[in-house]
Protein backbone atom coordinates (compact mmCIF):
# COMPACT_ATOMS: atom_id res chain seq x y z
CA UNK A 1 0.00 0.00 0.00
CA UNK A 2 1.92 3.00 -1.27
CA UNK A 3 1.92 6.06 0.94
CA UNK A 4 4.45 8.84 1.28
CA UNK A 5 4.72 9.95 4.88
CA UNK A 6 5.72 13.47 3.82
CA UNK A 7 2.18 13.98 2.44
CA UNK A 8 0.52 13.14 5.77
CA UNK A 9 -0.56 15.51 8.55
CA UNK A 10 -0.64 13.08 11.50
CA UNK A 11 -2.96 14.85 13.94
CA UNK A 12 -4.85 12.56 16.31
CA UNK A 13 -7.84 13.11 18.55
CA UNK A 14 -8.49 11.85 22.07
CA UNK A 15 -11.13 9.51 23.46
CA UNK A 16 -13.04 12.49 24.85
CA UNK A 17 -13.02 14.13 21.42
CA UNK A 18 -14.30 10.94 19.77
CA UNK A 19 -17.10 10.71 22.31
CA UNK A 20 -18.14 14.28 21.52
CA UNK A 21 -17.50 14.25 17.75
CA UNK A 22 -19.60 11.11 17.30
CA UNK A 23 -21.98 11.64 20.23
CA UNK A 24 -21.05 8.22 21.60
CA UNK A 25 -23.16 6.81 24.41
CA UNK A 26 -22.12 4.08 26.83
CA UNK A 27 -24.12 1.69 24.66
CA UNK A 28 -22.17 2.82 21.59
CA UNK A 29 -18.87 2.41 23.42
CA UNK A 30 -19.82 -1.15 24.32
CA UNK A 31 -20.01 -2.10 20.64
CA UNK A 32 -17.27 -3.49 18.42
CA UNK A 33 -15.90 -0.23 17.02
CA UNK A 34 -13.85 0.31 13.88
CA UNK A 35 -11.92 3.57 13.65
CA UNK A 36 -11.27 4.32 9.98
CA UNK A 37 -8.31 6.58 9.30
CA UNK A 38 -7.56 6.99 13.00
CA UNK A 39 -3.93 7.93 12.42
CA UNK A 40 -2.16 8.78 15.69
CA UNK A 41 -5.38 9.27 17.67
CA UNK A 42 -5.24 8.25 21.31
CA UNK A 43 -8.83 6.96 21.05
CA UNK A 44 -7.81 3.30 20.86
CA UNK A 45 -5.06 3.64 23.44
CA UNK A 46 -7.44 5.27 25.94
CA UNK A 47 -10.45 3.09 25.17
CA UNK A 48 -8.75 -0.30 25.46
CA UNK A 49 -7.84 -0.10 29.18
CA UNK A 50 -11.48 0.81 29.87
CA UNK A 51 -12.58 -2.48 28.34
CA UNK A 52 -13.86 -1.10 25.03
CA UNK A 53 -13.21 -3.04 21.82
CA UNK A 54 -11.65 -0.73 19.24
CA UNK A 55 -9.77 -1.59 16.06
CA UNK A 56 -8.05 1.28 14.23
CA UNK A 57 -7.10 1.13 10.56
CA UNK A 58 -4.91 3.54 8.64
CA UNK A 59 -2.22 3.27 5.95
CA UNK A 60 0.07 5.25 8.25
CA UNK A 61 0.44 2.15 10.41
CA UNK A 62 2.93 0.77 7.89
CA UNK A 63 5.41 3.24 9.42
CA UNK A 64 7.27 2.98 12.71
CA UNK A 65 6.37 5.01 15.78
CA UNK A 66 9.58 7.02 15.36
CA UNK A 67 8.69 7.87 11.75
CA UNK A 68 5.14 8.93 12.65
CA UNK A 69 6.32 11.07 15.56
CA UNK A 70 9.03 12.65 13.43
CA UNK A 71 6.48 13.64 10.81
CA UNK A 72 4.20 15.11 13.49
CA UNK A 73 7.09 17.14 14.90
CA UNK A 74 7.87 18.42 11.40
CA UNK A 75 4.36 19.79 10.73
CA UNK A 76 2.74 20.66 14.05
CA UNK A 77 4.05 24.21 14.41
CA UNK A 78 3.16 25.12 10.84
CA UNK A 79 -0.41 23.86 11.34
CA UNK A 80 -0.80 25.73 14.62
CA UNK A 81 0.57 28.90 13.03
CA UNK A 82 -2.07 28.58 10.27
CA UNK A 83 -4.72 28.29 12.98
CA UNK A 84 -3.38 31.42 14.69
CA UNK A 85 -3.52 33.30 11.38
CA UNK A 86 -7.25 32.54 10.94
CA UNK A 87 -8.70 33.35 14.38
CA UNK A 88 -12.28 33.75 13.15
CA UNK A 89 -12.41 30.20 11.79
CA UNK A 90 -12.28 28.40 15.14
CA UNK A 91 -14.37 27.79 18.25
CA UNK A 92 -12.35 27.59 21.45
CA UNK A 93 -14.65 25.58 23.67
CA UNK A 94 -13.10 22.11 23.84
CA UNK A 95 -9.61 23.45 23.15
CA UNK A 96 -9.12 26.84 24.78
CA UNK A 97 -6.55 28.35 22.40
CA UNK A 98 -4.22 27.41 19.55
CA UNK A 99 -1.50 26.62 22.08
CA UNK A 100 -3.90 24.44 24.05
CA UNK A 101 -4.81 22.67 20.80
CA UNK A 102 -1.11 22.03 20.18
CA UNK A 103 -0.64 20.68 23.70
CA UNK A 104 -3.62 18.36 23.30
CA UNK A 105 -2.36 17.05 19.95
CA UNK A 106 1.07 16.42 21.50
CA UNK A 107 -0.55 14.55 24.38
CA UNK A 108 -2.68 12.47 22.00
CA UNK A 109 0.19 11.39 19.78
CA UNK A 110 2.41 10.44 22.70
CA UNK A 111 -0.41 8.38 24.23
CA UNK A 112 -0.79 6.69 20.83
CA UNK A 113 2.98 6.12 20.46
CA UNK A 114 3.17 4.50 23.90
CA UNK A 115 0.44 2.04 22.88
CA UNK A 116 1.39 1.56 19.24
CA UNK A 117 3.65 -1.53 19.30
CA UNK A 118 1.48 -3.32 21.87
CA UNK A 119 -1.63 -2.45 19.88
CA UNK A 120 -0.14 -3.73 16.64
CA UNK A 121 0.82 -7.00 18.32
CA UNK A 122 -2.72 -7.34 19.69
CA UNK A 123 -4.27 -6.62 16.27
CA UNK A 124 -5.75 -3.26 17.30
CA UNK A 125 -3.85 -1.25 14.68
CA UNK A 126 -4.11 -2.55 11.12
CA UNK A 127 -2.73 -1.26 7.85
CA UNK A 128 -5.73 -0.70 5.57
CA UNK A 129 -7.04 2.18 3.48
CA UNK A 130 -10.12 3.59 1.89
CA UNK A 131 -11.80 3.42 -0.56
CA UNK A 132 -11.51 -0.39 -0.52
CA UNK A 133 -11.08 -2.21 2.79
CA UNK A 134 -9.87 -5.78 3.22
CA UNK A 135 -12.00 -6.44 6.31
CA UNK A 136 -14.42 -9.36 6.61
CA UNK A 137 -18.12 -8.61 6.20
CA UNK A 138 -19.88 -7.04 9.19
CA UNK A 139 -17.47 -7.97 11.96
CA UNK A 140 -17.97 -4.54 13.58
CA UNK A 141 -21.05 -2.86 15.00
CA UNK A 142 -20.03 0.76 14.48
CA UNK A 143 -17.53 2.42 12.13
CA UNK A 144 -16.23 5.94 12.78
CA UNK A 145 -14.37 8.19 10.35
CA UNK A 146 -12.90 11.40 11.73
CA UNK A 147 -11.43 14.29 9.74
CA UNK A 148 -10.95 12.54 6.43
CA UNK A 149 -14.07 12.01 4.32
CA UNK A 150 -15.80 15.29 3.39
CA UNK A 151 -12.97 17.32 4.95
CA UNK A 152 -10.74 16.60 1.94
CA UNK A 153 -13.42 16.94 -0.73
CA UNK A 154 -11.17 19.20 -2.79
CA UNK A 155 -8.48 16.50 -2.85
CA UNK A 156 -10.62 13.35 -3.10
CA UNK A 157 -13.33 12.64 -5.67
CA UNK A 158 -17.03 12.05 -5.20
CA UNK A 159 -16.53 8.44 -6.31
CA UNK A 160 -13.79 7.97 -3.73
CA UNK A 161 -16.19 9.16 -1.04
CA UNK A 162 -19.06 6.96 -2.20
CA UNK A 163 -16.87 3.87 -2.55
CA UNK A 164 -15.37 4.54 0.90
CA UNK A 165 -18.77 4.72 2.57
CA UNK A 166 -19.89 1.53 0.86
CA UNK A 167 -16.72 -0.18 2.05
CA UNK A 168 -17.36 0.93 5.65
CA UNK A 169 -20.97 -0.24 5.41
CA UNK A 170 -19.74 -3.68 4.39
CA UNK A 171 -17.62 -3.78 7.54
CA UNK A 172 -20.29 -2.36 9.86
CA UNK A 173 -24.07 -1.80 9.74
CA UNK A 174 -23.63 1.72 11.13
CA UNK A 175 -21.22 4.44 10.02
CA UNK A 176 -20.64 7.90 11.49
CA UNK A 177 -18.58 10.58 9.73
CA UNK A 178 -17.35 13.87 11.20
CA UNK A 179 -17.13 16.71 10.23
CA UNK A 180 -19.21 17.57 7.17
CA UNK A 181 -17.15 20.63 6.25
CA UNK A 182 -14.21 20.97 3.89
CA UNK A 183 -11.00 22.59 5.09
CA UNK A 184 -12.33 26.02 4.08
CA UNK A 185 -15.36 25.63 6.38
CA UNK A 186 -18.05 25.17 3.72
CA UNK A 187 -20.19 22.06 3.67
CA UNK A 188 -18.81 19.43 1.35
CA UNK A 189 -20.38 19.56 -2.13
CA UNK A 190 -20.52 15.77 -2.01
CA UNK A 191 -22.80 15.59 1.03
CA UNK A 192 -26.18 15.94 -0.68
CA UNK A 193 -25.49 13.70 -3.70
CA UNK A 194 -23.97 11.01 -1.48
CA UNK A 195 -26.97 11.12 0.84
CA UNK A 196 -29.25 10.74 -2.17
CA UNK A 197 -27.22 7.86 -3.63
CA UNK A 198 -27.16 5.92 -0.37
CA UNK A 199 -30.83 6.63 0.32
CA UNK A 200 -31.64 5.21 -3.12
CA UNK A 201 -29.72 2.07 -2.13
CA UNK A 202 -31.91 1.60 0.95
CA UNK A 203 -29.73 3.06 3.69
CA UNK A 204 -31.09 5.32 6.41
CA UNK A 205 -29.21 8.62 6.74
CA UNK A 206 -29.36 11.50 9.18
CA UNK A 207 -27.34 14.60 9.92
CA UNK A 208 -27.03 15.10 13.66
CA UNK A 209 -25.58 17.91 15.75
CA UNK A 210 -22.86 16.86 18.17
CA UNK A 211 -21.32 18.46 21.28
CA UNK A 212 -17.99 19.22 19.60
CA UNK A 213 -16.93 22.14 17.46
CA UNK A 214 -13.44 23.28 16.50
CA UNK A 215 -13.93 24.46 12.93
CA UNK A 216 -16.61 27.12 13.18
CA UNK A 217 -19.84 25.48 11.99
CA UNK A 218 -18.30 22.03 12.19
CA UNK A 219 -20.60 20.50 14.77
CA UNK A 220 -22.50 17.95 12.70
CA UNK A 221 -21.94 14.31 11.79
CA UNK A 222 -23.47 12.07 9.16
CA UNK A 223 -25.02 8.87 10.49
CA UNK A 224 -25.61 6.03 8.02
CA UNK A 225 -27.29 2.76 8.96
CA UNK A 226 -28.89 -0.27 7.37
User: DSSP for 176-200?
Assistant: EEE--B-TTSSBPTTHHHHHHHHHH
Please tell me the predicted confidence (pLDDT) of residue 183: 86
Contact partners, residue 43, CB within 8 Å, separation at least 6: 12, 13, 14, 15, 17, 18, 35, 54, 56
Q: In order along the chain (226 residues), what is the average pLDDT of each group of 10 residues?
A: 67 97 98 97 98 97 96 94 93 97 98 98 97 96 97 96 98 98 93 98 98 97 97
**Domain range summary for the chain, segments of one domain joined by +:** 13-225
Are the C-beta atoms of residues 171 and 133 closer than 8 Å to each other? yes
pLDDT at site 3: 59
Cα distance between residue 116 and residue 138, in whole Å: 25
Distance CA 20, CA 2 (A): 32
pLDDT of residue 4: 64
Looking at residue 150, its pLDDT comes to 97
Question: Would you say 40 and 71 are in contact if contact means Cβ atoms under 8 Å apart?
Answer: no
pLDDT at 207: 98
* 13-225 is a CATH 3.40.50.300 domain: no
pLDDT reported for residue 1: 44
Q: For position 5, what pLDDT does the model report?
A: 66
Amino acid sequence: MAMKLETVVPFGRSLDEYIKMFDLTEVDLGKRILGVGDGPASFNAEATPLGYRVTSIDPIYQFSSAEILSRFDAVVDNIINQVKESPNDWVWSHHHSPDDLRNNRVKAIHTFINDYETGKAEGRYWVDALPHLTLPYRIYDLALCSHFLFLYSEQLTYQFHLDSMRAMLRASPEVRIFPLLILMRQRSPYLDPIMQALTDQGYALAIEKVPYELQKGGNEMLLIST
